[in-house]
Amino acid sequence: MDEQQTCGKGLAQHSALTASLGDLVASTARVLEVHMKALDLTDENAKREYEAYRELASAHRRIAGELADTAERMAGYRTLPMGRHDMTVMMSAPPRHAFAGFVKQEEALVALLETRLAQDKAMLAAMAAAGG
């Protein structure tokens, strides 16, 4: 027997995207933090870079935490009872345009990730070849 799709189940299903974005942002913070350890702080430019990376790593950690918390809350709504909806409103232009915008952003994210992934894999291979 198929279970009825509800808005709560939809939130829970979409929580995976929010959680994954949080994981990616947390990974970015880790890369910044590890990079900071390579900086020679006797150099003024390295000091400025260190401060920039420190600030950005901190911001990424905060954002990652907020995304993780949000994803957890979304997943927690799985059993939210289905409320009555005005289907005329639900099928009108504003919700359709909002969702179309969401789909467009998903497409842009996929394209960006495909490009970045190719570049990042090449950089990782170069790091491995250098013995790092």
Q: In this structure, are 62 and 97 located in the same domain?
A: no
Are 50 and 103 in the same domain? no
Residues 66, 21: one domain?
Answer: yes
User: Going along 49-124, which residue ranges are E strands?
Assistant: none
Do 67 and 36 share a domain, yes or no?
yes
- Total domain count for the chain? 2
pLDDT in tens, 8-49: 999 999 999 999 999 999 999 999 999 999 999 999 999 999
Residues 66 and 117 grouped into a single domain: no
Tokens of 35: 């990079």
Tens-digit pLDDT profile for residues 96-131: 999 999 999 999 999 999 999 999 999 999 999 998
Domain assignment of residue 130, given as a range: 91-132
Dihedral sign computed on CA atoms, order 64, 65, 68, 71: negative
Q: How confident is the model at residue 2 (pLDDT cuts 50, 70, 90)?
A: low
With 0-12 / 13-18 / 19 or more C-beta atoms within 10 angstroms meaning exposed / middle / buried, residue 22 is buried
Q: Do 100 and 75 belong to one domain?
A: no
Residues 13, 77 within the same domain: yes
Asked if 80 and 14 count as a contact pair (C-beta separation under 8 A), the reply is: no
Going by C-alpha positions, the residue among 52, 58, 9, 6 that lies closest to residue 29 is 58
Domain boundary among 82, 101, 117: 82
Helix (H) or strand (E) holding 100: helix 93-129
> How far apart are alpha carbons 3 and 15 in whole angstroms?
19
Q: Does one domain contain both 40 and 104?
A: no
Report the pLDDT value the prediction gives residue 71, as an integer from 0 to 100: 98
Asked if 28 and 49 sit in the same domain, the reply is yes
- Identify the sign of the CA torsion 11, 17, 19, 21: negative
Whether residue 96 sits in one domain with residue 75: no
Contact 82, 8 (CB under 8 A): yes
User: Do you know the residue count of the chain?
Assistant: 132
Question: Within this chain, do residues 126 and 63 fall inside the same structural domain, yes or no?
Answer: no
108/50 same-domain check: no
